[in-house]
Amino acid sequence: MTKKVIKISEISIKEIGESLQIAGKLKTSPLVVYGSEELPKNGEPMRSLDRCVAKAILATAIADKSPHIYISKDTLRGCCPGAMTYTGFTKPAKYIKYFVSTGHKNFRSGEAEYLKDSPETVEGFLESIGEITPPGKYLVIGKYENLKDDVDVKSFLCFGNGEQIRNMANLIHFRTKNPFNSINMPFGPACSTFITYPSRMAEKAPKNTAFIGPVDPTGNVWFPPEYMTIGIPLDIAIKMHEDLDRSFISKRPLVAYPKIRDKITID
């Protein structure tokens, strides 16, 4: 019997979000990322939560009740310059290639992050991403269950511990033949892993790929050390929804989330 392929018109974003939350036994609701030409009703600009867009997104995920948050050309003031770039509303700053690598005397008195070995490497990195284009006048993020309008969702963002993210990653691999191309752990600021890459806003980001992260150590001061995220393009999230009941998540739940565990001591 040929398995019916579920079209997005036949399922709702809420159904997909519920499946992702079940698959990962997530304590926080998966977030949706989408573009809008109209200001989201009761929405809040990201800068009202924090100048760091990624931190604002985490705050939205863990809050019991939270509005959808947004960023636009009109709400950039007060946001981190990196977030302005990776949401596609501005071009990279002139000295960013130095700040990310070895520093420059004309920028912040030579302060640097030492995340890359040279300005030239940063240039190559930016070239490999290509142009970043926002999905609409407003880039909006919020909990899937609060999505009331028929919007063009680009991706889901899930927060979880190591086991939860591992299980969600294997669910992505449930129907893959090539084990190397479906999940990526890329370099970039946290906001790029959360939004830019999985929402395919970056011109040269690989398609048919989910993104685990963040790898940016500058966020370690606020991001929980035991947590990771997985950014999932909509088409991959649909497949995970379709495969939930057929996969190990449902067929072997005690393998996915054991109640009794072997004890291994790690000093």
Whether 217 maps to a domain, the answer reads yes
Cα–Cα distances in Å, from 185 out to 27, 48, 88, 216? 23, 29, 21, 11
pLDDT digits (tens, 9 = 90+) for 87-145: 999 999 888 999 999 999 888 888 999 999 999 999 999 999 999 999 999 999 999 99
Helix locations, the chain, DSSP H: 13-24, 53-62, 81-86, 96-99, 119-129, 162-172, 190-191, 234-243, 248-251, 253-256
Question: Who's near 87: CB < 8 A, 6+ residues apart?
Answer: 53, 71, 132, 134, 139, 191, 195, 196, 201
pLDDT digits (tens, 9 = 90+) for 19-76: 999 999 999 999 999 999 999 888 999 999 999 999 999 999 999 989 999 999 999 9
- Asked if pLDDT for residue 4 goes beyond 60, the answer is no
CA-to-CA distance for 26 and 187, rounded, in angstroms? 25
Whether 122 maps to a domain, the answer reads no
Whether 225 maps to a domain, the answer reads yes
Interstrand relation of 69-71 and 44-45 (parallel, antiparallel or unpaired): parallel
Domain count, the chain: 1
Task: Tell me the pLDDT band of 3, cut-offs 50, 70 and 90.
Answer: very low
Candidates 2, 6, 4; CA nearest to 15 is: 6
Whether 108 maps to a domain, the answer reads no
**Across the chain, which distance is largest between two alpha carbons, in Å?**
67
Question: Who's near 24: CB < 8 A, 6+ residues apart?
Answer: 158, 160, 164, 165, 167, 168
Flag whether the pTM goes above 0.85.
yes
Whether 109 maps to a domain, the answer reads no
Whether 183 maps to a domain, the answer reads yes
CA-to-CA distance for 245 and 128, rounded, in angstroms? 38
Whether 24 maps to a domain, the answer reads yes
Whether 31 maps to a domain, the answer reads yes
Rounded to 10 deg, the angle between the 234-243 and 162-172 helix axes is 90
Average pLDDT, the chain: 93
Which residue range(s) make up the domain with 247? 8-88+132-256
- Asked if pLDDT for residue 204 goes beyond 90, the answer is yes
What pLDDT score does 182 carry?
97
